[in-house]
Structure 1
Amino acid sequence: MHDTVTIVGNVATDPTQGRTTGGVPVTNFRLASTHRRFDDATQTWVDVTTNWYSVAAFRQLGEHAKASLRSGDSVIVTGRMKIRAWENNGKQGTSVDIDADAIGHDLRWGTTAYRRSARSGVDAPPRTAATSDPHDDAEHSAHSRGDGPDIDTSWAAKDGGLLGAEDGLADSAAAGASTL
């Protein structure tokens, strides 16, 4: 039995790509999740401990991870956790592995640009009107190029919007939203 977990952390090693013995593409990287606490004495945040995970992403997820992730990136990984003992050259230890189901950048710390990839024939079900992706229509394509219909972003600036006028971010939020 495997536990499903979601880990927020930083990519600690550049992803490497390989294949399983069965020929399935796999991308591996190490993930560091550092726990912090506020030290009342110094009035600063201090690192307490770091948990280390070995992440494996298979097939298309792995290919996308290899193309998208670099060491130092803040990410959120969801997957099945396995804890296993290991021994190598007389040394012993425990490894915590995650077979990733989903990986994404943690947008609290930066931005990313999403680009939908073409679906491969193996993973993609046949396309029908009932299963077609609403994001694949001409209006969405035109909009993603910036020449689609205008979007009402007045809510972002009204009364400070979600971000708050005191932050000075409401106008930039409205400007950014209009380019979506």
Structure 2
Amino acid sequence: MVNETMVTFQGWIGTDVTDRYVGEAVVASFRVASTPRKYNKLANGWVDGETNWYTVNAWRSLGRNCMEALKKGDAVVVHGRLSTQVYEDEEKRRFQTMVVEATSVGHDLNKGTSFFTKTTVGAGGEADDGALREFNAELGIGGPQISSDGQALGDFVTDEPSKEPAA
């Protein structure tokens, strides 16, 4: 889109990851604290800058995956569209908060390790790779295997002799 502010930042999840539904679409939401660090020559060391707090909203499959994979205290990298929301409390005080509609979220591997599990989405919108596993099993040990995007992964090498007739 034109004139949208895209951001990428790293930080720490400071709240529990919660979900809600907008129509039939799931939205996972959480807050991330991002504190820039700069080297200060006078102090001869790194100093923390002002901490920025972002509300992150992740929609649909990204939201479901965030609910499964993320928790308070995790180090993350977030990429998405930045906007500012302004609201008033009961006493008419105005507040504003930065909101990121995430297009990508992942663990920050500079801070720790993570384990990736690929999901596929079935007709009901839920992750389901059972049909794909069953199809690959029918192809046999030495046969090609199919990925969730429909691409053949190639033949797997086995110690079993080929059962194809000799030419």
| TM-score under structure 2 length normalisation | 0.70
1:108 — aligned with what? 110
**What displacement does 1:102 show?**
0.8
Aligned alpha-carbon RMSD (Å): 2.7
Q: What secondary structure is seen at the aligned counterpart in 1 of 2:66?
A: helix
In structure 2, what is the Cα distance between the partners aligned to 1:119 and 1:88? 40
Larger proportion of helix: 1
Q: What secondary structure is seen at the aligned counterpart in 1 of 2:123?
A: coil
Percentage of identical aligned residues: 31
In structure 2, what is the Cα distance between the partners aligned to 1:118 and 1:138? 22
Partner residue of 1:132 out of 146, 150, 154: 150
Asked if 1:57 is matched to 2:75, the reply is no
AA in 1 matched with 2:112 = G
1:164 — aligned with what? none
**What displacement does 1:44 show?**
2.6
**What displacement does 1:81 show?**
1.0
In structure 2, what is the Cα distance between the partners aligned to 1:134 and 1:96? 43
In structure 1, what is the Cα distance between the partners aligned to 2:65 and 2:10? 18
| TM-score under structure 1 length normalisation | 0.66
In structure 1, what is the Cα distance between the partners aligned to 2:86 and 2:151? 44
In structure 1, what is the Cα distance between the partners aligned to 2:103 and 2:150? 23
**What displacement does 1:116 show?**
1.0
2:15 — aligned with what? 13
**What displacement does 1:40 show?**
2.7
Q: What secondary structure is seen at the aligned counterpart in 2 of 1:111?
A: coil
The more displaced of 34-43 and 84-93 is: 34-43
In structure 2, what is the Cα distance between the partners aligned to 1:39 and 1:4? 29
